[in-house]
């Protein structure tokens, strides 16, 4: 029965090959199992959100009519903005980094502060004394993430304070490698004839002079690999009639960003800007929109609503992180579908 013997020999050879391969693979599999951290020790990925309809994921107009004195508080807005307090989950993108954020008590700056802390960075925030209530919440959220929080109150319209702000942030953080120039002043006026010199000065100093002063003070402390992120706006490209002076500054921020990126490329420091569309922040009910227009704020976007600050947090994280190492002189948009160029 030669054919039967040949078949048996073939089966035995096949079994030896299979067992040999399994035996060779076993040590490698065991080593992998021993070195891989348990699932609970691995960093959470992304914001932990499931797929949702962007039109209805967050509040839509109409909103209730509301007004606040400048500079406004997130704690008193209805509905309260979502800065990622309960939703943003980090993944270790900024471990060991040190960030200074102006306007970090509320709005986009607050969302960036929360995200940076949960990504592993220590964070200093600047705010006006009138915003202390919001700032205390941000400090608690940064500390809850296990990171160092530095709260520095003061008016960035003053050059001397801008210099002190950077010095204190560097001293208390032990360095500085992320700067977010985010604080802004916005006052809606129907006509240029309604914009007095005091408002014009306040807008220019808050939005432009402070960015210039703070960046100058920060640069000597920033190493190669550091990142500067400036908050511009979609109004730089499509200026509303009621935001004449504010829109001027946002166009200038884009030009400042692109020119500074060319200067600092040889130092290994990246400079970028973010140009958001309408976002639900205290800027709006504290004079940034007319009270009559606020109930429909954001309704004109293709998605039919304003953005929530948490929706910009990943953009600020990306631009600060090493993952964007070849991104400089760029302007990132988040406009709900409105053109931003």
Instruction: Give the catalytic positions in this structure.
Output: 246
Cβ(115)–Cβ(88) under 8 Å?
A: yes
**Is residue 192 within 8 Å of 244, Cβ to Cβ?**
yes
Q: Do 170 and 119 touch, CB atoms closer than 8 A?
A: no
The CA distance from 223 to 175, in Å, is 9
Interatomic CA distance for residues 218 and 264, integer angstroms: 13
Of 187, 185, 165, nearest to 176 by C-alpha is 165
If you write DSSP's letter for every residue of 45-101 in order, what string do you get? PTT------TTTSS--SPPPP----TT--GGG-SSPP--STTT----STTTT-EEEE
CA dihedral sign of residues 134, 139, 142, 144: negative
Cis peptide before 79 (omega within 30 of 0): yes
Phi, psi of 36 (to 5 degrees): -70, 130
Contact 109, 84 (CB under 8 A): no
Closest CA to 198 of 67, 70, 66: 70
């Amino acid at each position: 029965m030669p054919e039967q013997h040949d078949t048996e020999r073939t089966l035995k050879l096949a079994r030896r090959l299979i067992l040999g391969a399994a035996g060779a693979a076993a040590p490698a599999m065991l080593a992998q199992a021993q070195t891989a951290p348990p699932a609970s020790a691995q960093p959470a990925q992304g914001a932990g959100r499931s797929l949702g309809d962007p039109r209805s994921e967050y509040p839509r107009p109409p909103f209730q009519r509301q007004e606040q004195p400048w500079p406004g508080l997130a704690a008193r807005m209805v509905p309260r903005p979502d800065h990622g307090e309960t939703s943003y989950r980090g993944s270790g993108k900024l471990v060991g980094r040190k960030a200074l954020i102006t306007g970090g008590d509320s709005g986009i700056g607050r969302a960036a502060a929360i995200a940076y802390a949960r990504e592993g960075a220590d964070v200093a925030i600047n705010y006006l004394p009138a915003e202390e209530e919001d700032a205390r919440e941000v400090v608690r959220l940064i500390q809850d993430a296990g990171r160092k929080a530095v709260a520095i109150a003061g008016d960035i319209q003053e050059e001397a304070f801008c210099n002190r702000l950077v010095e204190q942030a560097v001293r208390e953080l032990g360095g500085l490698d992320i700067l977010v120039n985010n604080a802004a002043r916005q006052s809606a006026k129907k006509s240029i004839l309604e914009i007095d010199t005091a408002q014009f000065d306040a807008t220019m100093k808050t939005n432009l002079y402070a960015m210039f002063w703070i960046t100058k003070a920060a640069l000597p402390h920033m190493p190669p690999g550091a990142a500067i992120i400036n908050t511009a706006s979609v109004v730089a490209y499509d200026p509303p009639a009621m935001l004449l002076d504010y829109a001027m500054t946002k166009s200038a921020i884009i030009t400042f960003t692109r020119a500074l990126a060319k200067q600092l490329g040889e130092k290994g420091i990246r400079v970028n800007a973010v140009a958001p569309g309408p976002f639900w922040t205290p800027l709006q009910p504290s004079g940034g929109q007319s009270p009559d227009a606020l109930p429909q704020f954001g309704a004109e976007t293709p998605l039919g609503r304003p953005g929530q600050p948490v929706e910009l947090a990943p953009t600020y994280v990306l631009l600060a992180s090493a993952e964007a190492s070849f991104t400089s002189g760029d302007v990132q948009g988040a406009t709900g579908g409105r053109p931003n160029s």
